[in-house]
Structure 1
Amino acid sequence: MRAPLSWIRDYVDLPEELTSEQLAAELTALGLKLEALEKPGEDIAGPLVVGRVLTMDPEPQKNGKTINWCTVDVGDANGTGEPQGIVCGAHNFAPGDLVVVVLPGAVLPGGFEISARKTYGHLSAGMICSSRELGLGDDHEGIIVLPADAGKPGDDVFELLHLRDDVIEFEINPDRAYALSLRGIARESALAFSIPFTDPAVRPVPAPDADGYPVVVDDPAGCPVFVTRTVTGFDPAAPTPSWMSRRLFLAGMRPISLAVDVTNYVMLELGQPIHGYDGDKLSGPIRVRRATEGERLRTLDGVDRTLSTEDLLITDDSGPIGLAGVMGGETTELSATTSHVVIEAAHFDATSVFRTQKRHKLPSEASKRFERGVDPELPPYAADRVAELLTTYGGGSVAPGATHVGTAPARPEIRIGYDLPARVTGMDIDAETTVAHLRAVGCRVETDGDGLTATPPSWRPDLNDPFDLVEEVARIVGYDQVPSILPTATSGRGLTREQRLRRRVGRALAGAGCVEVLSFPFVGEAAFDALGLPDDDVLRRTVRLANPLSSEEPAYTTTLLPGLFKAAARNIGRGAPGVALFETGTVAFPVDRGPAPIYGVDWRPTEDELAKLFDAIPEQPLHLAAVLAGERERSGWWGSGRDAGWADAIALVRRLAAELGVDLTVESAARMPWHPGRCARFSVAGQELGHAGELHPRVCQAFGLPPRTSAVEVDLDLLMRHAQDVVAGPEFSTYPVAKEDVALVVDGSVTAAEVEAALREGAGDLLESIRLFDVYTGDQVGPGHKSLAFALRFRAPDRTLTEQETTAARDAAVALAAERTGAVQRA
C-alpha cells in the first residue's frame, strides 16, 4: 500500500517538522512493515513556473511533422519580464491557456538538463511540459493545461501540481486489511503519536428508502450489506482534478476518467471497493446470487469467463453483470458517454471472493481488500462520498433515495483479564494501560473487578480472541520494551546423542575435504530415469505432495543423490576443478496404512487418534550422501594431481565407520546408479547400510558430471544406532614394528575385503595394521585368478617381538585365509 504523506496529513495533524523517514519508523514499530520510501519530485530542480500562451504559430516540417512556435508569458521568472520563445510539438492547447513551463537551468526527472537551444530554425528557451516529463503520469500525448484560476504567469508550480510529496510504501500483512487504505494508515499514524484522528468515513448519510435503485440479495451470507446511490446529469467529459490524479498516480494507480478515478480514490481513501454502473445500461433490479452451471460473463478485462456455481454474481434482468467483489462486467461499464451513474458499495464474504479470484486467476484491487476483510459498516458512507465527488467535479445531482440492503454482522465480545498482557509479554502493563490502548485501537471496553470485556471495531476482523487483544496492547506499548531475559539453563542437559553423533559425522567429512550442501528434497520421474533405476526399483515408490512447488518434481525424494549431483554439476560447470560435497537429510518411503485422518482444530486428538495420525506418516530415515568429482588431489609444482575414484568413495564410508566405532562388512555389488564392477555394498550387523563407488557412465552423462565421478549414500540412522558413544583412541608402543608381506592367490570372484578379514582375524592381537598394496592378474597366477599382496605390521605394547612370534602370527593369518577363501600363498 502506497501512502502519500500529504494524504495522511489530511486526517492527522502530524507535526510540521516530522519527516517521512520518522513517520515510517514509528509505523514500522506498530507493525506496518516498510517496503519502500520514495520522494517523487526530489530530482526536479530549477525554474518551473506557470506560463500563459500568447501566440502559437504552427509550422509544418519536411518530415511531415508540424511544430508550434510559441511565445509564452512567464512573468519575471526569466529575469527580463519579456515573453519566452519556445518550440512545442503538442497541439492540445491554445493562446490564452495556462501551461507549465520549465526554463533554462532547470533539471527534470532522469537528470534531463534544460537549456536554450536552436531547433527547427528557432532558439527555444525552455519547454512546455507534459505529465510524463514531470513524472506525474504516463500521458505524453499532450502538455498540461492548467485551470484558468491556477495562478498568474511566473508563479511556482511545485505546490500547485503536488510535485514534491513523499510516498511511504508498506507491505500489509493479511491480518491488517484496514491498512490497505489511507484511513487505516492515518489511524495508525495518530496512534503512533497519540494525536487526534479525523475519520474520513464520518459523514451524515441519508436513511435508506424505497426511492433508491432496486436491489435484491438472494445470498445474504455471501453479501450481508449492499448499498446503492444514483447520480444523474453527470458530465462524462469532465476532467479529473489534478490533485486527485496526482494522488492516484502516487498511490500506484493510473488515472483513467473522472468517474473511474473517483471510485478508485474512495477505495484508497476508505478501504471500501466501489463499483460504478452505467445506469442507462442496467435492465431491471440489481440482484446478488450464486451462478448457475454454464453461465458466462465477459469481465472488464475482455475475457469471456465460464462461471462456477460457487461464484457470487451481480446480475440484472439481462444476466450476469459482474463477479461480486472481484471485477465488473463489460455490458454495464462506465464509458465516455455515461451520464447516469449507479454507485455500488457492498460487503462480500471474504472466503467467497478469495475462491472466485483464485478460480478465475483474476486478482484485483477490490478482491485484495475483500478477501482480507473490509469494514462492513463502510458501504453507506463510501457510496455517499463517491456521489459527493462525482457531482462536485462532474456536475449533475445525486438522485433522491438510497438503497441499503442488509446489516453489518455484529462483532464478538472478548473477555480478557487485566494481567494477561503482562503475563504473555513479560512487560509491566497495568490495567489502566490495557484499557487505554484497547480503546485507542477502536475497541468498546467495559471493565469490572478482575478483567474487561472488549468489542472490537468493525474495521478489525482480525481481533477475535484474548491474545489478539494482547498483541494490540503490546505493539502500542512497544515491542522494544519487551525485556531481554536469558532463561536459566536446566542442569544436566546438553546435546542429544543423535546431535553429538551428527556433529562427529560432519567433522569427519569436513576433515576429509568435503563441503556440506542443502538441496530441495523433491524429485520427479526424470531424476529416477537419469539415475538409471529399473521400473520396479523401490526408490521409485515415492510420497506425492498435495501442493508441489513444481509439477516436474511432485514427490518427496527417496534418495539424496539427484540434488547432490545437480549441485556438483553446477560447480564443475562454473570452473571448479573438483568437488567433494556431502548432504544429510531425510528421505521418505510411503507406508500402506491408508490415508491420514483429518481432525478438527477445536480439540486435542485422543491418544488413539494421534496413533492413527502417526501410523499414516511415511517412514523418513536420515540418509547421508556424498559425491566426489574431478580432482581429488590438486596438481602443481610438486607434480600431477589425481582424480577422485571409487576407492575415495569407499574410504569415506570407512572413515565414518572408524569415527563412530562401527564394524563394517564390505562386499562387491551391482546397484544403479553405480558402475556394476566398481560398487561396494556396506552392511552393519547383517543390515544393509548403503552403497559407494564409481557412477555408471550413463548417469554421469545424464547429470553432466565428469567421467568416473564417485558417490556414496548410506542410512545414517542405522550407522548411528550402532555407533559407540566413546571411541577408544589408538594405542602407541615404543617398541619396534615387525614387517611381514604376504601374497595370496585367490579365485577372481573372491574380494580383497574377504581375504583381509580372514588375515586380520588369524593374525590375532599382535597385528597393528594391514594394507593391500598390490593386485596382480596374469600368466603367473593363471586364468581366473588374482594375486593380492598385503603388508602386515606387528607390534607388542610391552616388548620387542621375536622372529618366531612374528612368523607364527603371519602363518596363522595365512592359514585362516586359505581355509576361508581358498587362498594359496605365492613364494
Structure 2
Amino acid sequence: MRVPLSWLREYVDLPATETGRDVQAKLVSAGLEVETVEQTGAGLKGPLVVGQVLTIEELEGFKKPIRFCTVNVGRANGTGEPQEIVCGARNFAVGDKVVVVLPGAVLPGDFTIAARKTYGRTSHGMICSGDELGMGDDGTGGIIVLPPEYEPGTDAIELLELVDEVLDIAVTPDRGYALSLRGIAREAATAYGLPLRDPALLDVPAPNSYGYPVKISDPQGCDRFTVRTVTGVAPEARSPIWMQRRLQKAGMRPISLAVDVTNYVMLELGQPLHAYDRSRVQGTIGVRRAEPGEKFTTLDGTKRVLDGEDLVITDDRGPIGLAGVMGGADTEVADVRTDAETGEATGTTDLVIEAAHFDALTVARASRRHKLTSEASRRFERGVDPQAGPAAAQRCVDLLVLLAGGTAEAGVTEVLAPSAPRSIAMKADHPDRVAGVAYGRETVVRRLQEVGCDVYGSDELVVTVPSWRPDLAFPNDLAEEVIRLEGYENLPSTLPTPPSGRGLTERQRLHRRVGRSLAGAGYVEALNYPFVGDAVLDQLQLDADDARRRTVKLVNPLADTEPALRTTLLPGLLGALRRNDGRGAHDLALFETGLVFRPTGQERKAVRLPVDRRPTDEEIAGLNASLPAQPRHAAVVLAGAREQAGWWGRGRPATWADAVEAARGLAREAGADLRVGRAVHAPWHPGRCAALSVVVDGEEQIIGYAGELHPRVVKAMHLPERTCAMELDLDVLERAGRGALGAPRISTFPVATQDVALVVDTDVTSAAVEDLLREGAGELLEGIRLFDVFEGEQLGAGKKSLAYALRFRAADRTLTVEEATAARDAAVAHAAEHVGAVLRGA
C-alpha cells in the first residue's frame, strides 16, 4: 500500500515538522512494515508553470515530426512575451493548456534546463510529459494537457503536487484494514495520540424500496450488498488533477472519471466498488454461485469458464461479474467518444454503483482458481469492513455528482444478512502474562479502545471487536494489540530458565555431530525442498518395485511436477549439485540431513485436533498413526576434485572411496561398527557400489549405500562425470552405536606395528579379510588399516594382494616382539582358514 503523506495529513493533523521518515518510524513501532519512503519531486526546481499553446509550426526535413511552438506563460518568464519552444510530441493543439519548464529549472534526475538551438531553431524551455516530471506513465505517453480553467503562469509544481513523500507499506495478510488511507490514518492517529477525521463518517440515507432491485441467493458468500444509482453524468467529464495525482502516487493509473472515483474511494475507505453502465444491466442484480461450466468475459477481455464454487454477480442474462475479483465486459462503463461532425461527447451517462461485502475465503479461492489478482481481491482476501459499504457508496455518489454533474437518485438498495458484533472474553491481566510486563487494567482498556474496541468489565473484560478488524478473534489477538501499541521495543529481554535435567536427546546430539563432522571434512550443507515427482525417480533408474517409488502424495502440492514427499535425499542434493556445476562451481561436496517419508500402509485419515484445549493422549496417538514413517537420513554427493592441485603437489578427483569414507566418518560419530560390502543398487554403478551395514540387536542390517553413480543416471540428470553419492539411515546408525560412546581408553605404553600382505581371490572383499584379522588377533589389536591393494601377473590370475597395518598395544605393559608377532600370526592364520589367505612372499 502506497500512502502519500500529503493525503494522510488530510485525516490526521500531523506536526508540520514531521517528515516521512518520522512517520515511518512511528508506524514501524506500531507494528506496520513500512519498507521505504519515496521522495517524489526530489531535486525539482522551478520555474515550472502552466502555459497555453498559441501557435504551432510544423518543421519539415527531419526524420521525425518536429513542431515549433509559441506558448503563453504569463509573467513567469519576466517579460510576458510568448515563449518559443521546440517539441516533438503531437498530442496537443493550439489553445491547449500544457506544463512548461523554463530555462534555469532543474527536473528530477538533475536535468538542468537551458535555452538551446535544435532543429534550426532556439528552444527556450520544454513542454513536459508526466515521465519527465517523475509522475509516472499516464497511459498516453505524451504531453500533459491540463483542464482549460488554469491561467497561464500558474505554478505547476504546486498544482500537480509534484513534491511529496510516499510511504510504501507491506501489508501482512492479517491487517486488511491497512490497505486504505482510513486504516493507516487510524494507526498514525494512535501512534501520535491525535484525533482521527474518519472519512467514513458520512450522512448516508436509509435504505428504501425505490432502489435498484437486488436478490442475494447466497448470504454466506455475500452478507451485505449496497446499490446506488447516479444519472446524468457528463461523459466528457475528466478526473480533477488532485484526484489523478493521488491515484498516481498510490500506484494506480488514471483511466476515466467513473473508474477513477471508484478506485479513489477504495483507496480512501478500503471498500472495493464497481460501477456498471446502467443501460447495459438487464433486470435484477443477483448474487449466486456459478453453474459449473458457465462462461463469461471479464474486463480484461478473457473468456472464463466458471467453477461451481465461484460467487458471481448476475443480471437477467447471466454473470456480469466475478464477485470480489473483477467485473464483466458486458456492463463495462463505455469510453468517451467525440462525434467528428457535431463534436458532442458520447458515453456512459447513468451508473449503478455496487458496494458489497464478500466472503474472504470464497474470493481468495476464485482469484487463485482463475489466476486473476486485482486490487479488490487483495482487500477482500484480507478482510474488508462489512459496515463500510454504505459510506463508500455515498462517497462515490457525492464525487460523481460534484465532478461530473450527475444526479443521485433517491433510491437506496441495501440487502443485509443479520449478524451480531463479535465479542471476546479476556482477563484484564492476560496481556501482562503474555508479555511479562505489568501494563495494568487501565492501559489495556485504553489501548483496546484506541484500536476501536468497546470494553466492559473489571477483572474479566468483555471486548467487542470493531467491524474493520476481522483478525481479532482470540484473547491473544487482543494481547498483541496492547503489546504492539505499547511498543515491542519496550519489552524487557529476559532469558527463559530451563528446567534441570533436560537437554538434547541422543538423536539430536548425533544430528549435530554428523553435521559438524561432514562440514569439517569439507562438505557444504545444502537444504532442499522435500518434494519429488515420478520424473526424477525415473532418472534415478529405480526399478518399478523399488520401495522408494512408494510415495506419500500431497493434496495441495506446490508444483504439479512434484506432488509427493521424498523417499530419498538424493534428488534434491543432485539437483543442487547440477545447478552449482552449471554456474561454474565444478569441485563440489554437498551434504544434507533430513527426514524422508515412507508409507507404511497403516496410515489413516488425520483428525482435526481441537484448539480450545490440550488434545488427549488418544487423539495425539491417532494423529501420529495417520503419519507415514519418517526416518532421518544423511546423504552426500561429490563431483570434481576432492583435493586441489597446487605447489604442494598433484590434486585428486573425488571417487567412490570418498563417499564410503563419508559413511565411515558418520559411523565413528555414532560409535558404531560400520561394515562395507559389495552391492548392486540403483542409482549406483553396479561395479562401484558399496552396501553399508551395522549390527543392531545381534542382526546385521543394511542402512545405506555409497559409491559412484551409474553413467545412465549421470546422463539423465545432466551431472558431472563420475559423480559419487552416499546415503544412510541415521536412526538405525544411532541404534547400532547406542551405548558405545564413552571416554577413550588411553594407554601409556608404546604401540607395536606389524604389516601383513595377504593374497586372496579377487572376489574376496577387503572388509571380510579385515573382520577375520580382527577376530584372529584378539584383544591386543588396537587398530587395523588397509594401505595397499595390488593385482599383477606375478600373483596369478584371479588373485589380489591386500596390505594391512596392524597396531598392537597392551594396557598394562610394553609388548615384546614375540607377543606382537604371535598376535599377527594368529590373525593371518584365521584369515587363511576362512578365505584361503596366503601371506605374500611366504
- Give the structure 2 partner of residue 288 of structure 1: 287
- Give the structure 1 partner of residue 172 of structure 2: 173
Amino acid at match of 1:535: A
- Give the structure 2 partner of residue 182 of structure 1: 181
Q: Alignment partner for residue 359 of structure 1, among 369, 376, 391?
A: 369
Residues 51/467 of structure 1: CA separation in 2 closer, same or farther (3 Å cut): same
- Give the structure 2 partner of residue 637 of structure 1: 647
Measure the CA separation in 2 of the matches of 1:138 and 1:89. 18
1:468 aligns with 2:477: yes
The answer (yes or no) to whether the contact 1:599–1:605 under 8 Å persists in 2 is: no
Amino acid at match of 1:275: H
Measure the CA separation in 2 of the matches of 1:293 and 1:665. 61
- Give the structure 2 partner of residue 683 of structure 1: 693
The answer (yes or no) to whether the contact 1:67–1:88 under 8 Å persists in 2 is: yes
- Give the structure 2 partner of residue 382 of structure 1: 392
- Give the structure 1 partner of residue 744 of structure 2: 729
- Give the structure 2 partner of residue 506 of structure 1: 515
- Give the structure 1 partner of residue 681 of structure 2: 671
Amino acid at match of 1:468: D
How much does 1:538 deviate? Answer: 1.5
Residues 526/50 of structure 1: CA separation in 2 closer, same or farther (3 Å cut): same
Encode CA deviations 1:114-157: one digit per residue, 9 max, x unaligned: 2212233321100122333323342445533434543452x422
Which range is displaced more, 10-19 or 297-306? 297-306
1:541 aligns with 2:550: yes
SS at match of 1:289: strand
Encode CA deviations 1:458-481: one digit per residue, 9 max, x unaligned: 222222232222222222211222
The answer (yes or no) to whether the contact 2:603–2:627 under 8 Å persists in 1 is: no
SS at match of 2:239: coil
Measure the CA separation in 2 of the matches of 1:792 and 1:769. 6
Residues 768/242 of structure 1: CA separation in 2 closer, same or farther (3 Å cut): same
Q: Alignment partner for residue 531 of structure 1, among 525, 529, 540?
A: 540
Which range is displaced more, 800-809 or 334-343? 800-809
Which range is displaced more, 759-768 or 298-307? 759-768
- Give the structure 1 partner of residue 245 of structure 2: 246
- Give the structure 2 partner of residue 307 of structure 1: 306
Encode CA deviations 1:50-86: one digit per residue, 9 max, x unaligned: 3344x30332523586544333333443344433211
Which range is displaced more, 5-14 or 791-800? 791-800
How much does 1:111 deviate? Answer: 4.1
Residues 18/804 of structure 1: CA separation in 2 closer, same or farther (3 Å cut): closer
Amino acid at match of 1:661: G
The answer (yes or no) to whether the contact 2:749–2:814 under 8 Å persists in 1 is: no
The answer (yes or no) to whether the contact 1:324–1:353 under 8 Å persists in 2 is: yes
Q: Alignment partner for residue 436 of structure 1, among 436, 446, 449?
A: 446
The answer (yes or no) to whether the contact 2:709–2:725 under 8 Å persists in 1 is: yes
How much does 1:92 deviate? Answer: 5.2
- Give the structure 2 partner of residue 333 of structure 1: 332
SS at match of 1:672: coil
SS at match of 1:581: strand
Measure the CA separation in 2 of the matches of 1:65 and 1:796. 99
- Give the structure 2 partner of residue 650 of structure 1: 660
Residues 744/372 of structure 1: CA separation in 2 closer, same or farther (3 Å cut): closer
Measure the CA separation in 2 of the matches of 1:563 and 1:26. 44
How much does 1:751 deviate? Answer: 1.6
The answer (yes or no) to whether the contact 2:199–2:269 under 8 Å persists in 1 is: yes
Amino acid at match of 1:330: A
- Give the structure 2 partner of residue 696 of structure 1: 710
The answer (yes or no) to whether the contact 2:749–2:809 under 8 Å persists in 1 is: no
Amino acid at match of 1:45: K
Residues 529/390 of structure 1: CA separation in 2 closer, same or farther (3 Å cut): same
Q: How does 1:21-60 map to 2 (within 5 A)?
A: 21-53=21-53, 55-60=54-59
Measure the CA separation in 2 of the matches of 1:291 and 1:791. 80
Amino acid at match of 1:57: I
- Give the structure 2 partner of residue 261 of structure 1: 260
Q: How does 1:25-174 map to 2 (within 5 A)?
A: 25-53=25-53, 55-63=54-62, 67-90=66-89, 93=92, 97-139=96-138, 140=140, 142-151=142-151, 153=153, 155-174=154-173
Measure the CA separation in 2 of the matches of 1:145 and 1:808. 107
Gapped runs of 5+ residues in structure 2?
Answer: 337-346
Q: Alignment partner for residue 756 of structure 1, among 760, 770, 777?
A: 770
Amino acid at match of 1:689: I
Which range is displaced more, 246-255 or 666-675? 666-675
- Give the structure 1 partner of residue 729 of structure 2: 715
Amino acid at match of 2:378: K
Q: Alignment partner for residue 495 of structure 2, among 473, 482, 486?
A: 486
Normalized against structure 1, the TM-score is what?
0.94
Amino acid at match of 1:276: A
Measure the CA separation in 1 of the matches of 2:272 and 2:804. 85
- Give the structure 1 partner of residue 800 of structure 2: 786
Encode CA deviations 1:333-354: one digit per residue, 9 max, x unaligned: 1112111112122222223222
Measure the CA separation in 2 of the matches of 1:613 and 1:138. 56
**Identity of paired residues, percent?**
58
Measure the CA separation in 1 of the matches of 2:284 and 2:808. 104
Measure the CA separation in 1 of the matches of 2:579 and 2:214. 63
Measure the CA separation in 2 of the matches of 1:300 and 1:709. 54
Q: How does 1:211-250 map to 2 (within 5 A)?
A: 211-250=210-249
SS at match of 1:158: helix
The answer (yes or no) to whether the contact 1:40–1:166 under 8 Å persists in 2 is: yes
- Give the structure 2 partner of residue 550 of structure 1: 559
Encode CA deviations 1:423-442: one digit per residue, 9 max, x unaligned: 22122211112222222222
Amino acid at match of 1:146: L
Residues 161/527 of structure 1: CA separation in 2 closer, same or farther (3 Å cut): same
Q: Alignment partner for residue 402 of structure 2, among 385, 388, 392?
A: 392
- Give the structure 2 partner of residue 204 of structure 1: 203
How much does 1:651 deviate? Answer: 2.7
How much does 1:18 deviate? Answer: 0.8
Which range is displaced more, 62-71 or 290-299? 62-71
Residues 396/789 of structure 1: CA separation in 2 closer, same or farther (3 Å cut): closer
Normalized against structure 2, the TM-score is what?
0.92
Encode CA deviations 1:375-433: one digit per residue, 9 max, x unaligned: 22222221111111111111132122222222563212222222122122122211112
1:585 aligns with 2:594: yes
Residues 650/147 of structure 1: CA separation in 2 closer, same or farther (3 Å cut): closer
What is the aligned length? 823
SS at match of 1:37: strand
RMSD: 2.5
How much does 1:302 deviate? Answer: 1.3
The answer (yes or no) to whether the contact 2:226–2:413 under 8 Å persists in 1 is: yes
Measure the CA separation in 2 of the matches of 1:445 and 1:621. 51
The answer (yes or no) to whether the contact 1:150–1:160 under 8 Å persists in 2 is: no
How much does 1:11 deviate? Answer: 0.9
- Give the structure 2 partner of residue 347 of structure 1: 357
Residues 764/102 of structure 1: CA separation in 2 closer, same or farther (3 Å cut): same
Residues 380/703 of structure 1: CA separation in 2 closer, same or farther (3 Å cut): closer
Encode CA deviations 1:728-787: one digit per residue, 9 max, x unaligned: 436445547353x43433333222222222222212233344333443444444433333
Amino acid at match of 1:427: V
The answer (yes or no) to whether the contact 1:557–1:587 under 8 Å persists in 2 is: yes
The answer (yes or no) to whether the contact 2:679–2:691 under 8 Å persists in 1 is: yes
Gapped runs of 5+ residues in structure 1?
Answer: none
Measure the CA separation in 1 of the matches of 2:333 and 2:302. 17
SS at match of 1:104: coil
Residues 324/571 of structure 1: CA separation in 2 closer, same or farther (3 Å cut): closer
Measure the CA separation in 2 of the matches of 1:8 and 1:2. 11
How much does 1:725 deviate? Answer: 5.7
SS at match of 2:226: strand
Encode CA deviations 1:304-356: one digit per residue, 9 max, x unaligned: 22233333222222332222222222222111211111212222222322232
